[in-house]
Structure 1
């Protein structure tokens, strides 16, 4: 129980760290991703961009960390779903990492552009447009599409097991489905990636993660349900069977 309590606290801290680092990273990226003169502004704010990349690396480590710390608990309920959640979380982190590489590559392009000051910047703009597009697609597929799948997986386990309050499990499954739907709508051009609808559909999953983080920090997993699950395992079956 003491080990599980420590794992719950660490998971809560990692959820909060992932949320904070992702927001800071996006803010720091602003000059190179959203500026009209991004090839100039990127080099001008190079340390800021690098710090943004470091924040996203913190996000990657934190996101993987939540899956690793929850895995021993989730597998006691359903090993297959727990393993699937772990694999998809790693995939989400890998996609985000590709986005980080694209931004750092764009920064290198910006530095070269400002150093050379070419008379014909067409090729630089073409390469820059491609790198920004790679970041935008990874931002859609990682923290939206894969996040939706991951959230529904662990929330389903929580729903079946009662390890966290039932309302939170329902919020997680609903939020995961909505952010996944938002990603699909954005892929097919129903609305823009950064839009009011996209933000609204992402709110439930953000609320779920922050509420889950607080509950895990303050109360941890439901100890009586954990004891019941362990008894079921010793009896030779999982609660989801």
Structure 2
């Protein structure tokens, strides 16, 4: 039980760090993602871009952290779902890392463009546009598509086992479905990635993670009947 309490606190901390780092990372990438003259703006704000990349590395760490700390909790109910959640969390981390490499590569191109006299700007912009596209697609596939799959898996288990209040688990099921829908709509170009509709569809899953984080840090997981039976069986096996 003490180990499970520690896991609950760690999961809550990881969720809070994930929310903060993802927002800061996106905001501090602005010179490369929102400026029309991003080739010059990137080099002029190089330190800010590097810090943004570090924020996204924190996001990667939280994805791995939640994967590892949630696994023993989810496995008590379903080993298959627990393994699937573990794998998709790691895949989410890999996808986000690809986007980070793309942004750092764009920063290098921006520095080279700024230090080169009579540079062929069009050629640099072609490469730059490709790297921005890589970031946009990884941002959609990682924090949206994979996030939807991961959230629906742990929300389903928590709803069934009542290890957290059912309203939070229900919000997780709804939020994961909406963020997954948002990613599909973005894939087919029906809505923009950074748009009002995209933000509205992302609100429920954000509320899920924050409410879950606060609950886990303050209260931890409840002991479900299924978990109690599993613990009793394990103790019996160990004694034999």
Q: What band does the TM-score fall into relative to the shorter chain? A: over 0.9
- Alignment correspondent of 2:41: 41
Scaled by the length of structure 2, the TM-score of the pair is: 0.95
3-state DSSP of counterpart to 2:29: helix
Contact 1:18 1:62 in 2 (8 A): yes
Which residue is 2:203 aligned to?
A: 203
> In the alignment, what sits opposite 2:103?
103
Deviation for aligned residue 1:9: 0.4
Q: Which residue of 2 aligns with 1:53?
A: 53
Aligned equivalents of 1:184, 1:235: Cα separation in 2: 47
Partner of 2:133: 133
Structure-1 separation of matches of 2:197 and 2:78: 34
Gaps of 5+ in 1: 237-241
RMSD: 1.5
Partner residue in 1 for 2:9: 9
How many Å separate the matches in 2 of 1:31 and 1:224?
Answer: 49
- Aligned-partner Cα distance in 1 for 2:223–2:144: 32
CA distance in 2, matches of 1:233, 1:73: 14
Q: Does 1:68 align with 2:61?
A: no
Gaps of 5+ in 2: none
Query: How much does 1:227 deviate?
Result: 2.5
2:103–2:135 Cα contact (<8 Å) kept: yes
Q: CA deviation at 1:58?
A: 0.4
* TM score, norm. by length of structure 1: 0.94
Q: Distance in 1 between matches of 2:153 and 2:235?
A: 24
Q: Decide whether the 8 Å contact of 1:76 with 1:233 is kept in 2.
A: no
Kindly indicate whether the alpha-carbon contact (under 8 Å) linking 1:85 and 1:153 is maintained by their aligned counterparts in 2: yes
| 2:114 is equivalent to residue 114 of structure 1 | yes
1: CA distance between counterparts of 2:119 and 2:111? 16
1:20 equivalenced with 2:31 (yes/no)? no
CA deviations 1:174-214 (Å, max 9, x no partner) are 11110000000011111111100000000000000000000
Change (3 A) 1:187 1:207: same
- Cα displacement (A) at 1:230: 2.5
Report runs of 4+ in structure 1 exceeding 3 Å deviation.
231-236
